[in-house]
Amino acid sequence: EQEVTMYRATREITIEGHDVPKPIRIFQEANFPDYCLEVIARSGFVEPTPIQSQGWPMSLRGRDLIAIAETGSGKTLAYLLPAFVHISAQPRLAQGDGPVVLVLAPTRELAVQIQQEAAKFGSYANIRSTCIYGGAPKGPQIRDLKRGVEIIIATPGRLIDMLEAQHTNLKRVTYLVLDEADRMLDMGFEPQIRKIVSQVLIIFHLISFTVI
Ligand code: ADP
Ligand code: MG
């Protein structure tokens, strides 16, 4: 118990809420699939970042969470790796199924970055992801959605277009991430976010704020 307190203190991890699980100190503690651990090792990562260390045990238990950490602190993998674990526990994708994981992000650039990270890990487990954003032709995005994906990473406006045209649906979404939620709110996306979230039946919430 005292060790946990020390661990958090030295990494400046502060927590709020009830029954917060103890942080995961080494990657192997997190019961991630082997391919994830291999990619981590190949990337040269030595230890979980603080947001991963405290965020992983929360999301792996299916807890809702608001996580706040500075830019470059590994928030993407903090929510993506538990998302892979969650997907692996679901029935395989069938014809016409929508995604299990939905990540909303404020900009096309961020969405593309997240998707690259998702693809890096997902390719080993045949977990498919796609990026849905405005200012680009719809054709290829529709094609990807029709083919079926476990993970959608989207900016809110274009996702709503795709939902209204019934190119995908959110019926299977049980893991929802609002990446850079503070920025999305600053950009005035709240009505769109509410509209999207209202279509998610069971919410596994994970909100990620970036402090600049
Ligand atoms: P954030 O979203 O917090 O701004 P990112 O998730 O984009 O940060 O991560 C920033 C960089 O850190 C990425 O290149 C990522 O691959 C790398 N990274 C992630 N986790 C670790 C880790 N445990 N150790 C070292 N580098 C990491
Ligand atoms: Mg980020």
- Angle between helix axes 34-42 and 108-122 (nearest 10 degrees) is 110
pTM to 2 decimal places: 0.95
As a whole number, mean pLDDT of residues 69-81 equals 95
Buried/exposed code over 164-187 (b: 16+ C-beta within 10 A; e: otherwise): eeebbebebbbbbbbbbbbbbeee
Write out pLDDT tens, residues 4-51: 999 999 999 999 999 999 999 999 999 899 999 999 999 999 999 999
Write out pLDDT tens, residues 107-124: 999 999 999 999 999 999
Exposure of 155 in the CB half-sphere (CA atoms within 13 A): 18
Give the closest ligand to the alpha carbon of residue 24. 1
To test ligand 1's pocket by mutation, which of 26, 43, 46, 117 has the most ligand atoms within 8 angstroms of CB?
43
pLDDT of the residue at 202: 64
Assess whether pLDDT exceeds 60 at residue 212. no
| Ligand 1 proximity of 45 Cβ (cutoff 6 Å) | yes
ipTM of this complex prediction, to 2 decimal places: 0.99
